[in-house]
Amino acid sequence: MVALTVRGIALWELKSSPRWEVLLGDAARYHEWAAQIAAGDWLGRETFYQAPLYPYVLGMVYRATGPSVTAGRLLNVLFGVGACVLVGLAGRRMFGPRAGWLAGLGLALSGAEVFHETLLEKSALGTLWVGALLLVLATCLRWPQHRLCWLALGTVLGLWGLVRENALLCGGLVLAWIVLFPRRHRTSGWKLRAAALFLAGLLVPLAPVLVRNRIVGGEWVLTTAQFGPNFYIGNHREADGTYQELVPEHGTPAFEQFDARYLAEEAAGRRLTPGEVSRWWARRTWEEIQSAPGRWAKLMVQKVLLTWSSTELVDSEDQYTAAEESWMLTVLSGLGRFDILAGAAVFGLAALGRRWRRFWVLPALMVLYTLSVALFYVFARYRLPLVPMLALMAGAGLVRGGTLVRRRQGRRLAAAGAAVLAGVSLMQPGVVGPFFPDWPDLSISRAQAVTQFNLAVKLWKREAPLEAIEPHLAAATRLLPEYTSAWFYWGLILASEGDVEGGAARFEQALRCDPERVDIRIELGEALLRLGRPEEAIRVLEPAVSLAPGDPDVHHLLGRALVLAGRPQEALAPLQTAVRLDPNFALPRHLLAITLDRLGRHEEAREQFEDLLERLPTDSVEAAVIRRRLGNPRSPLKKP
């Protein structure tokens, strides 16, 4: 009831947020995917790129309710409430009734958990499976002779793996746990039966996905073909532990999937299947790791610390902005912080004393899951499965701490308190950040700026009016003045609305933030040309040529600026380069032909016009204009 009440209040308060109907990031993709499933597209058309279980569950709900974001959010709340009950039952079964109540309440009052349950994404379903896994683990500890427990353990882990693929790495830990089970069960036959039942249960949810990927995609892929790109994003030479797009400004799942395939096929020189794309990125990542193993080891340490940071790392939208819109989330974000819960769990582990040996699988599960997150990159929602595990240990710790107080065991209390103090200190970014030169910006202002920016871009793509978009861009740049992408998109939006002067001003601000962004220089150069300021455009575009010597757009735009500035002779070189880089790029070839003609080099101009004529559709307006020009008897371009 506590879990349902706090989630209901938070959901009601956030219903007036502009992000209620405007879905950001993965939420938009899951909503679209679930709507397709509800409409009858059950199999899809290619190997899964994202974990499929949540969209299918959501699709079944949409089948009954229609594609309603409210229904989806209510479903997530039910998942969260169920997870609290399961964690409470697990705590009760492992450590007693009081520990169970405290564990369930710890999860019920977690600010991060409640926030992610209000979003239309898969984290809530993942938490439900973690709660179920903890309950089944507790059952296996109490009644290991029951074969159904081990079958259920595999099934629940497989279901969790269809929400978070990295969770499948925990299967190895379960097998190790079976081997090292308490002595009275250490018979070879029992271990083989338990392991076989666990593996059979694991295949129950995974086998249909494996077969489906084979039928639809033509290759054996266990869950998704996302491993390689995600592995590269988290471990390449410039990685800092957070998400970085494969291509700048392409941060959505659809862009990521397209870019991963395009770049891999461009390098391989042929078409690749999704599995081959994943393997290509994995090989490239391993090559970069092997070239600098020391750098990668330090990056892994940094990612582990990020996973356990006290700050909630923003994905598409952040918890801190939501807390400003909901007093319930404000309270929970302070009371149910990740580091407070982690501190209570550390206290629980320390206070258990020798009893921890019986429950060693719990801290081992937290360690292994942490490493599975650090193997890729860190978001707040990626570490969310740790919260129910921490709540379970925290419940046990608080009960044990009360026992130690009653027994006046001051030394053990002091040791547990010291462990908590050390652990919580390491979770503060200001403590560990200075030791890592690539430590990312974890400020709350940055997280809020990302949310405002993503909302503005989404509104723009939905063709919302300018007065609905600009306040969010203004907020993003106020919160983070060096936010390059926000200034850049603000310029794009203003220029597209006809305010070229305002767009140029925002492009200039973006360029001050990042002088090496070629796309900013291109857009600013284009805006300056539209404003009749070619000399300024030349100064902006000349550095872009050295930054992107293989980009025909840059050379074409510079050549155009030089022509408009009255320097046609200088324009020939960049225009010729653009034509050489992309022979089918009609604009620079056309401008080159006109420029050569004006300089009196008629024969070269005629060759360019004829070459352009061959590449254009015969019925196009451009082709008709060129034919008329070449056929004019008074034109020096006419053949003798």
DSSP 8-state secondary structure symbol assigned to residue 237: T
pLDDT of residue 639: 44
517: phi then psi, degrees, rounded to nearest 5: -80, 110
Q: Collapsing DSSP states into helix, strand and coil, what is residue 575?
A: helix
pLDDT of residue 431: 82
Q: What does the block give as tokens for 61?
A: 């709900």
Query: Angle at Cα 260 formed by Cα 273 and Cα 587, nearest 5°?
Result: 110
pLDDT of residue 187: 73
From CA 202, how far away is CA 194, in angstroms rounded?
12
Q: What does the block give as tokens for 368?
A: 């292994």
Q: What does the block give as tokens for 513?
A: 């933030």
Residue that is written with structure tokens 């179920």 in the block: 132
From CA 119, how far away is CA 127, in angstroms rounded?
14
Q: What does the block give as tokens for 175?
A: 């097998």
Residue that is written with structure tokens 């390491």 in the block: 426
From CA 51, how far away is CA 128, in angstroms rounded?
16
pLDDT of residue 190: 85
DSSP 8-state secondary structure symbol assigned to residue 442: -
Cβ neighbours, 10 Å, residue 633: 5
From CA 58, how far away is CA 120, in angstroms rounded?
9
Q: What does the block give as tokens for 229?
A: 């790109």
CA atoms within 13 Å, Cβ hemisphere of 128: 19
DSSP 8-state secondary structure symbol assigned to residue 272: -
What does pTM read for this prediction?
0.90
- The series of mean pLDDT values per 10 residues for the chain, 640 residues long, is 96 92 92 95 92 96 94 96 97 93 95 95 96 96 89 97 96 92 71 94 96 93 94 94 86 84 92 94 96 95 93 92 95 90 83 75 94 95 96 87 69 71 77 85 94 94 93 96 96 94 96 94 95 94 92 93 93 92 87 89 86 73 67 54
Q: Collapsing DSSP states into helix, strand and coil, what is residue 17?
A: coil
Show Cβ contacts of residue 441 under 8 Å, excluding neighbours closer than 6 positions. Answer: none
Q: Which long-range contacts (CB under 8 A, 24 or more apart) does 164-167 make?
A: 164/51, 164/122, 164/126, 164/382, 164/385, 165/51, 165/223, 165/224, 165/226, 165/227, 166/369, 166/372, 166/373, 166/375, 166/376, 167/126, 167/369, 167/372, 167/385
Distance of CA 621 to the CA centre of its chain: 45
DSSP string spanning 92-161? HHHH-HHHHHHHHHHHHT-HHHHHHHTSSSTHHHHHHHHHHHHHHHHHHHH-TT-HHHHHHHHHHHHHHH
Show Cβ contacts of residue 249 under 8 Å, excluding neighbours closer than 6 positions. Answer: 485, 488, 519
From CA 81, how far away is CA 611, in angstroms rounded?
68
Q: What does the block give as tokens for 25?
A: 């990031």
The number of residues in the chain equals 640
Contact criterion met (CB below 8 Å) for 442 and 432: no
pLDDT of residue 340: 86
